[in-house]
A and B are shown apart, each in its own frame.
Chain A
Amino acid sequence: MIEIKNIRKVFNAGKTNEFAAIDGVSLQVDSDRITVFKGPSGSGKTTLLSILGCMVRPTSGRIEVNGREITSLPEQFLAEIRRSGFGFIFQQYNLIRGMTALENVMIPSYPTGERRSSLKKRAVELLDLFNVSHKAGSRVEELSGGEAQRVTIARALMNNPRFVIADEPTAHLDTKLSREFMDIMLGLKTEGKTILIASHDPVVCDSIAVDRLVGMRDGRITTVDDRR
């Protein structure tokens, strides 16, 4: 569970172009749910996700992840929390070119110093789960859009996180692949993962898998639609 209280994120503080991308948001993200943030471009969805995902510190406000206050933790500990607690799926898949799909999946676990063989085993299992294990040895440039997306999901799950965060995950996918993506998310939810998605794609927002739809505009939450 993540709880944020009165979060503000101000860019270029003190300068003439000071800008509050998030302006006083309080929210509680429940476990084992799919929450979707919906809003026009520039409404602060990405910023909010990066705060929820412990990537950036808010300018003010409090964040608690599983009851632990993390607002003033040094970056190093945020990295640790990110590594063990969160999996990220980006709009641009952000796979590292020149490396194989398998290596890309293993990357989040490298700093843990886990044995190479056990890392490999886990990565192959994940690729297998998403039916891309036949591409494990190929470089990521050679993957199709759908395959790349699934490798990205495998990478997000590598450290077995509680939370999965996806920013505009279907922006580059056609309707069929987008539906497939939502099915995968639904599967993950039933496995006990908490999923946060930012999107304005109707395929995502109207999916039956979504438990809660949060509307955003100008850095504030406008509507909260609990579907369950």
Chain B
Amino acid sequence: MYTQALNERIDGPRVVEDPEKLAAFQARIDAEEKIEPNDWMPEAYRRTLVRQISQHAHSEVVGMLPEGNWLTRAPTLKRKAALLAKIQDEGGHGLYLYAAAETLGVSREELYEQLLSGKAKYSSIFNYPTLTWADIGCIGWLVDGAAIMNQIPLCRTSYGPYARAMIRICKEESFHQRQGYEIMLALCRGTPEQKAMAQDALNRWWWPALMMFGPPDSESVHTEQSMRWKIKRFTNDELRQKFVDATVPQAHYLGLTIPDPELRYDEATGHWRYGPIDWDEFKRVIAGFGPCNRERLAARRKAHEEGRWVREAAIAHAEKRRMRERAQRLAAE
């Protein structure tokens, strides 16, 4: 992790690509070939991927915080172990994704600096607080559930290292989703107080979970090109609908009410139709004014600052050891 990769700017100048190369590239994409790190790729493709993969990595890492908030208060040893293992998985996802981003010529340090400076974005969902134990259930059920909807198509994304990272990650996310649902089930079968805790958490997490799929297609700037390059395979609204269709019956099975008075089943299409999403809230949270944006970034910065002396010590030790070994070799000659 201490290596210095070749750092290039993400928001570089507009690059005019060779039309022949572009056509050949598009033909490979259309033929469902995987693009690998050493292959030629348009600069805009590379930048789009770096942005998307690093945002995803940051989300995994920031996402450790809201759940970590309940690690010391998990109500049973089994739940404590499962939660710790889950958060550890999320950190692992962050690592694979940073590694995938590094194959595109940006170092993890540079990406991480962008997170700490507030320049890079991460999923808006992690700017909401975890107030009760039921929130841990809701995060697994809804947040990991939404992540799976987003990520399953990414297992077939055109960039090889990203697709391969996603295959591994998706397996773990679906385990997290089941685990979260199981927490909800225990609460809904528990005491009236526990059931109320579950409903309260659903009331707070439902809409932010729907916002995880990003702005509606009518306002999404990145979708069209990303679809052509097969970085994305479904639009935001398509994925959101899939999520709603999968989740509503699960809520009913729990005996919980989805906090949407307009929610209704559309017989003709077989879809659950949901009411309007508060996109102002979404924009506000993305812009830094969610309930926990400050705390989340402050926690990441604090850990980074407090860890500085440790990272410096590791580098200093490695350097000293190299010097000692060289001195020994010279003395032996």
Partners in one complex: no
| Chain B interfacial positions (CB closer than 8 Å to A) | none
